[in-house]
Structure 1
Amino acid sequence: MSCPICGKKTQIEFRPFCCKRCADRDLARWFNGSYAVPSVDADDADDIENAMEEAARNPAKPH
C-alpha cells in the first residue's frame, strides 16, 4: 500500500500514511475544507450560510 499523500510505502504506525508529516497534511486538508463530504440535504447549505454570516458579523477576538 502506498501513502495517499506522497506515494511512498506506508508505515504501520502511520497507516495509511508513510509518516506523521503526511498524516498531518491530510488532517490539515480536512480542517481547511480542501476535503469535504458532499451532502444532498438543502438544510445543510442553509445552516452553513447562516453560520458564515454570523461569523462575519461577530469576528472572533484575538487571544
Structure 2
Amino acid sequence: MSCPICDGDTQQRYRPFCSRRCADRDLGKWLNGSYAVPSQRLDDVDGEADESEREPLRSH
C-alpha cells in the first residue's frame, strides 16, 4: 500500500500514510475544505445559507 499523499511506502504507525507529516497534510485538506463529499439532497444549493447561518448569534 502506498501513501495517498506522497505515494511513499506506508508505516504501520501512521497507516494509511507514511508519516505524521502526510497524515497532518491530509487532515489540513479536510479542515480547509479541499476535500468535499457531494450531497444528494435536492435542497442543497450553493450560495444558500442554512437556518443556523441566518439566525443572529445569541449569547448564552
Unaligned runs of 5+ in 1: 59-63
Q: Distance in 2 between matches of 1:49 and 1:11?
A: 43
Which has more radius of gyration? 2
> What is the CA-CA distance between 1:40 and the residue it aligns to?
1.6
Q: Distance in 2 between matches of 1:40 and 1:27?
A: 24
Q: Distance in 1 between matches of 2:33 and 2:19?
A: 22
> What is the CA-CA distance between 1:49 and the residue it aligns to?
2.9
TM value normalised by structure 1: 0.70
Unaligned runs of 5+ in 2: none
What does residue 19 of structure 2 align with? 19
What does residue 35 of structure 1 align with? 35
Q: Distance in 1 between matches of 2:7 and 2:24?
A: 15
Q: Distance in 1 between matches of 2:49 and 2:34?
A: 21
What fraction of aligned residue pairs are identical, expressed as a percent? 62
Q: Partner amino acid for 1:15?
A: R
Q: Secondary structure at the match of 1:37?
A: coil
The structure that is helix-richer by fraction is 1
What is the number of equivalent residue pairs in this alignment?
54
What does residue 6 of structure 1 align with? 6
> What is the CA-CA distance between 1:10 and the residue it aligns to?
0.1
* Cα RMSD after superposing both structures: 2.4
